[in-house]
Structure 1
Amino acid sequence: MSQVTQRSATLSPYGRSTEPDLPPKAAWFFEGVLAAGLGLGSLAVLVLLLWIISPYPESGAGGALHIAADLWLLGHGSSLVRTDTLSGVPAPIALTPLLLAIPPVWLLYRACVQALAHGGEPSGDEDPKSETGSAPADGAGREPMGPLTPLVFVAGGYLLTGAVTVLFASGGPVRADALSALVRLPLFVLCVVAATLWPLGGDVPPEPGRQPGTEAADASVNSHDGSAGSARAAGSAPEAAAARRRLSSLVPYDARLLARRLPRLRTVLTATAVLFGGGLLITLGALLWHVDDVRAAFPRLAGDSWTGQFAVLLLVVALLPNAAVWAAAYVLGPGFALGGGSSAGLLVDGDATGLPPFPLLEALPAQAGGHGFLTSLAAGTVPLAAAATVGWYVAHAAVPEPGRAPGAASRQGTVWVVALVACEIGAGVAALAALSGGALGTEAMAFLGPNWWLTGGAACAWTLLVGAPVALAVRSWRLRGRGPDDDWHQTLARRARWAELKTASGGLMPDFEPRRD
């Protein structure tokens, strides 16, 4: 897959051959179509392989391609509808295997990055060089576009391919829910585009062909224009600056400095990875502990057919990320619902019996309180480790140089930044909890998975209550040994030096109080 998605002369619209490239807008649009097509193609190859090796296929190649389209839409969070139920009532399928969402996210994100990287290239229908062979200084042949324009065309190509896929998958015993796809697919694309723009920090690069310093000159020229538009623009800038200052005044100054110094994205991703990695380890450990029950669940679902059991195994692998999120909700406290009133969690009283014979469900305890003290202790270390990771990162950013108090953030600023990171982690955990759950039918199976707002709130509370003390403790530890020149910067030391200099000057220095900090 990585070699297929590499920039090559056969697939990439930004070819390196002597032939003229596509116009930028067409190239960006083709990037979106290519990203969607690669995701669809990979699923189609897998489904067709299973169809070929199946001894008794129930449908032809068209049905297999229909299943691939259904899985592709399900990976984007769109719901499916199953019509051939025993009761005759259509049953929704809205539980998204998170493993199916990883390839579309990666392919679309890579397409957006490619479009942004080539966003300043000259148009394909215009020569970027003048007749003399030199590039024009005024940016002729380049389209003055911001970073949003390439992403809009990439999203358009991706959504067009998605619309065609929805039309193709709108029939059959398991069909796509058009209303759900109309909402979830654009929302999926919007989230990936926002993630692409996040590293830019909201800074719009200068227009192609314009020097970075020309904006100030243009503003100076327009200030003497006397037009109503420039007056409104000049009046809106101080108002926006004043609004930013009012918002910034609510946060301590050293907390703002620490928030800029701290690699927040890395901190959030590392702590979230520790939380869900611990959940995955708990899931795998529970599967190994109940390995006999897990092995017996495969023939109960698929019979003696090895192809059917292999398909069940693929489904289990696709749901392992969901199981990691559910296990994280389990150790955080809120737990997760299993349908029909069944639930599981460290702090949840419920019954986990009477579940269908699915391998992942065989790893659950029979009763909600069936876990022992050692199991609870081991599960509680996962959120503790994630919160301690946040405290460790914040403390190291609060005291960049061990043993030096100058430049270190205060205790209040450290707690502020821990609270900020806790809110970001809570929002991310809540989003993943919402994506990991869903419906697999009606009535008792109307919802399975963790409650998103309870899980996100628990992750935020764990991070704040554990991360703040860890950050303060590590901060104090890093400040325990002061450097040899720390006393030089103290106020009393400066006043003593000032008095000695005034005495040694013999009255040449004026008699006034030293400047106060």
Structure 2
Amino acid sequence: MTSMLERPATEQASATRRPLRTRADVVATRPVAAVTAAIWAAGVGLLVLGVVVALAWAVSSRGEDGITTPLRAASTLWLVAHHAPVVTGTATITLLPLLLLALPLLLLARAGRWAARITSTTTVPDVALIVLTGTATYVSVAFLVSQVAGIADASSPPVPVIVWSTVVALVGLGIGALQGSGLVTPLAARLPLLVRRGALAAAASGAALVALVGVVAVVAVALRWSTVTGLARGVAPGPWDMLGLFLLSLAYLPNLLVWTLAYVAGPGFAVGASVVVSPFSAGSGILPGAPLLGAIPPEAPAAAPLLMLLPVLAGLVGAAVLRRRGTLALRDEVVVDVGAAAAVGAATGVLCLLASGSLGSARLADLGPDALVTGLAVFGLVAAGALLWSLLAHALPTIWVREDAP
């Protein structure tokens, strides 16, 4: 009886002693979650690449070098995945595989999403706190890795490592934290109607352009398949060498697509100091012996300039998708078309910057498209296609408009 009478008082006392979770406590946990997320993203990335490098080292003839060499090589590869240049001797390698960049971005996005969800983050300042804290931690890890990374005489300087890891961490953690906080939809809803329509048209034009460029790249490799395979056998005579070459080519596949986009847009791309490959000029000069470059035709095909119609077609697709969302006044639709084309052109310029650089000296010193010229060319062609469709649609209002469109 006595215990029964005292139980409510005990429960009330324990409830009184139980501290309430204040906002200060929640804010205090966000830096901890951000630091944990950044360390996790860096650790998993290093682990994944470390396993790949260790397996490659074990099956190669250099398996007796010890565990230190593959670990340092994996650390260098992890820095390369962040697009940090590699200095070897007197040459600086800045043409790096874009596919590797997807690994840290995906890990950071997942880490940022987890940090936002576990701390119940729902405001922009709290997202900024997570992103900035996680970025500072991630950059610190990257700096420490750069101090121990390196293979033979190849290493990544600390300053580019800090710059590139900062950019990658801000983008990856920012995307993930916004998704985890659920702020993407509310923030997008606050944007003006024309901006939202422009983003839709830009996404549609960009997706169509990527698909069309992919088809062109596949056809180019297929038409020159014997040359590509011949160069591959010359570079990698053994089965393990061929596997390594295949993985390396796969890592550089996004670079190839960006180069193909520059070719389709008209400016083309440089392969060394004296060779420019475009629909109007032949790549008949002395080319490096990379297998994927075997897809370059020795002479510009007569119908190659017609490929410039593909960005125009992508602009048509973007304008058609825009019209599916409902009609706009002609002036507003022109503004949206030009804005969407500018976004696609700007994205193209950024990709050209990332997909260009140097692999050494002489013929490998200048590789890739000109970012400014290619971006402007894509902007002009996409805008031409979008404006053409919009003008036709306003002249013929029955073109592909849903009856229930808002």
Conserved in 2, the CA contact under 8 Å of 1:112 and 1:196? Answer: yes
1:192 aligns with 2:125: no
* Cα pair 1:395 1:475 within 8 Å, conserved: no
Question: Residue 274 of structure 1 is aligned with which of 185, 205, 208?
Answer: 208
Q: Which has the higher helix share?
A: 2
Q: Please list, as runs of the form range in 1=range in 2, the aligned pairs for 1:2-151 lying within 5 A after superposition.
A: 23-57=29-63, 59-83=65-89, 90-120=90-120, 146-151=126-131
Partner of 1:259: 195
Question: What is the rounded CA distance, in whole Å, between the counterparts of 2:213 and 2:339 in structure 1?
Answer: 24
Task: Report matched runs for 1:4-403 at 5 Å.
Answer: 23-57=29-63, 59-83=65-89, 90-120=90-120, 146-170=126-150, 172-193=152-173, 195=175, 200=183, 257-260=193-196, 262=197, 264-302=198-236, 304-347=237-280, 349=281, 351-367=283-299, 370-373=300-303, 375-377=304-306, 379-399=307-327
Partner of 2:126, secondary structure, is coil
Aligned to 2:383: 464
> Displacement, 1:202?
11
- Superposed displacement of residue 467, structure 1: 0.7
Q: Which has the higher contact order (CA 8 A, sep 6+)?
A: 2
Provide the aligned C-alpha RMSD in A.
3.0
Give deviations 1:250-309, integer Å, cap 9, x for gaps.
xxxxx954434x2x444323322322332222222221111111111123213x322112
User: Which runs of at least 4 in structure 1 moved beyond 6 Å after TM superposition?
Assistant: 201-204, 480-484
Whole-angstrom CA distance in 2 between matches of 1:362 and 1:481: 42
- What are the ranges of 5 or more consecutive residues in structure 1 without an aligned counterpart? 1-21, 84-89, 122-141, 205-254, 400-408, 485-517
Secondary structure in 2 aligned to 1:437? coil
Higher deviation after alignment, 290-299 or 165-174: 165-174
- 8 Å CA contact 1:394, 1:471 repeated in 2: no
- Which of the residues 329, 343, 346 maps onto 1:424? 343
- Give the C-alpha shift of residue 446 in structure 1: 2.3
Matched-pair contact (CA < 8 Å) for 2:135–2:169: yes
Shift of 1:198: 7.4
Q: CA deviation at 1:361?
A: 0.6
Deviation of residue 449 (structure 1)? Answer: 0.5
Hey, what's the Cα distance between the residues in 1 that align with 2:55 and 2:273? Answer: 36
Describe the superposition over 1:88-110 as per-residue Cα deviations: whole angstroms up to 9, x where unpaired: xx211111211101111111122
Check conservation: 1:44, 1:68, Cα contact below 8 A.
Answer: yes
Secondary structure at the residue paired with 1:334? Answer: coil
Deviation of the 1:336 alpha carbon: 0.6
2:84 maps to amino acid: S
SS at match of 2:319: helix
| 8 Å Cα contact 2:116/2:177 also seen in 1 | no
Contact 1:298 1:309 in 2 (8 A): yes
Deviations 1:44-99 (A, max 9, x none): 1111111122245474332222222222211211100123xxxxxx2111112111
Moved more, 331-340 or 351-360: 351-360
| Alignment partner of 1:435 out of 335, 354, 362 | 354
State how far apart, in whole Å, the 1-side matches of 2:374 and 2:127 are: 35
Deviation at 1:481, TM superposition (A): 11
Query: Conserved in 2, the CA contact under 8 Å of 1:384 and 1:466?
Result: yes
Kindly tell me: are residues 358 and 57 of structure 1, through their superposed partners in 2, closer, same or farther at Cα, counting changes over 3 Å?
farther
> Could you tell me the percent identity over the aligned residues?
25
Match of 2:21 in 1: none
Greater CA drift, 270-279 or 334-343 = 270-279
